[in-house]
Amino acid sequence: MKTRICDNGAQRTDVTERFSLEEGMTSRAAVEAFLAERTLALAGASRSGKKFGNTVLRELRGKGYDVIPVHPEAEAIDGVPCAPSLAQLPRHVGGLVLVVPPAQAERLVVEAVAAGIPRVWMQQGAESPEAVRRCRDAGIDAVAGECILMFAEPTGFFHRLHRGLWRLLGKLPADRS
């Protein structure tokens, strides 16, 4: 087991890698399938604009993704209309990006199952064994504990450098046989 520090907005936590291959270790195919979806929901952006979820929202929109922020109270975030819940999304989405604490991620995975969302990306710090298990049990493709900005093209300098470092260290999602 390895431990890494994950920054999930203002919350800083130690996250221990708890995912075995069977529990949901991310594959390269899962990353590519998620990124092929061009319409996404995102939970974890704030009205203040200061959370990492806001950065993910801006970056993905800048890369051409149609991203619907999900926020129970905000009408819009960064000028983008919000859905109050996954059940109230205005159109079908191919994936859900979670940039929230693990307990919220677990609840949102249950909502994603009910809403028929086929893929979930749990940003570093959002993942938990329970959320991954719920995805697996429901047949949802899950990416857990990876930074979406390291993979969504075009990748900025910092995230390209980060991805290169992870490649050298053997930490990137791999193909599975």
What's the rounded Cα separation, in Å, for the pair 106 and 37? 22
Instruction: Count how many Cα atoms sit within 13 Å of the Cα of residue 161 in the half-sphere of its side chain.
Output: 3
- Alpha carbon of 170 to those of 143, 151, 173: distances in Å? 17, 15, 8
pLDDT tens, 48-71? Answer: 998 999 999 999 999 999 999 999
Q: How far apart are CA 107 and CA 174, in angstroms?
A: 28
How far apart are the C-alpha atoms of 81 and 90, rounded to whole Å?
Answer: 10
What letter does residue 12 receive in the DSSP assignment? E
Domain definitions of the chain by residue range: 20-169
Judge whether 45 and 57 are in contact, CB under 8 Å. Answer: yes
Alpha carbon of 138 to those of 131, 132, 133, 143, 162: distances in Å? 11, 10, 8, 14, 32
**Which pLDDT score, from 0 to 100, does residue 166 have?**
76
pTM of the model as a whole: 0.82
**Hey, what CATH class is 20-169 in?**
alpha beta
Task: Please report where in the chains the tokens 């919350």 appear, as a residue.
Answer: 11
- Amino acid in position 35: L
pLDDT in tens, 125-164: 999 999 999 999 999 999 998 999 999 998 887 777 777 7
